[in-house]
Homo-oligomer: A and B are copies of this chain.
Amino acid sequence: MVRKNIVVIRVVTLEDQTLLRMHGDLIEAYYPALRTDSYCIGEQPRGVCDLKTKTLAVPKIIALAKKHQDADAIVISCCDDPAVEELREMLSVPVIGAGTAVSAVARGLGKRVGIIGITEYVPEPYRRILGDDLIDLGRPEGVTCTLDLMIGAGRESVLRKARELKAQGANCIALACTGMSTIRIAREIENSCGIPAVDPVMAEGLFAYYACLQSER
């Protein structure tokens, strides 16, 4: 496959180029056939962390995506999938949302899927795709934004939640915040619990890779 161009849209305002490119860099590391360009929306330094900030982000994401229709795929790197449905109706380029990708991969790995996110609610794609097979025990204690994940107490809280979900019958964990990818906690969950845990950036990259493969002529 010729190397493909993926546009990664970050739903948080980031000045720092390393932070901006972080998800794209992970995608390139996981899938060497993909190269990425990263862009972010303006005026949302706290990103998308509830329904209000999601609604606010949608038109900004649409405007950004429309400018990059020459990409081989566009990834909206957020588990809430803001603007994904709207863009799929609008554009002919494949549009991938992290939430749909994680839920779909989890669906293929386990029959009962535990969710770990940072929002009060279960993001829409997880509800839609996992339905009655989803186990939701709420947020990890003390974790309300991605910054909380960066500290030891946050990590431990996520691992504890994973063990609780397994005890409730989950045979797979679907992570529901791309911040979980930044701290690379999926493998730690797998080691600690012995069940697969789906990493959001790895999953969105997987669907981008699939879209590129299938479009090869």
| 10 additional contacts (CB under 8 A) given A103-B107, A202-B210, A203-B210 | A32-B33, A94-B196, A100-B108, A104-B104, A131-B131, A186-B214, A187-B214, A199-B214, A202-B213, A209-B209
Q: How far is the CA of A96 from the CA of B129 in the complex (A)?
A: 20
Q: Assembly of this chain: how many copies?
A: 2
Interface centre among A199, A203, A206 (most CB of B within 10 A): A206
Say yes or no: is A30 at the interface (Cβ < 8 Å to chain B).
yes
- CB neighbours of A136 from chain B (8 A): none
Min CB distance A196 to B, Å, is: 7
- CB neighbours of A32 from chain B (8 A): 33
Closest to A205 in B: B213
- CB neighbours of A196 from chain B (8 A): 94, 214
In chain A, positions 180-217 with a C-beta closer than 8 Å to chain B are: 186-187, 190, 196-197, 199, 202-203, 206-207, 209-210, 213-214, 217
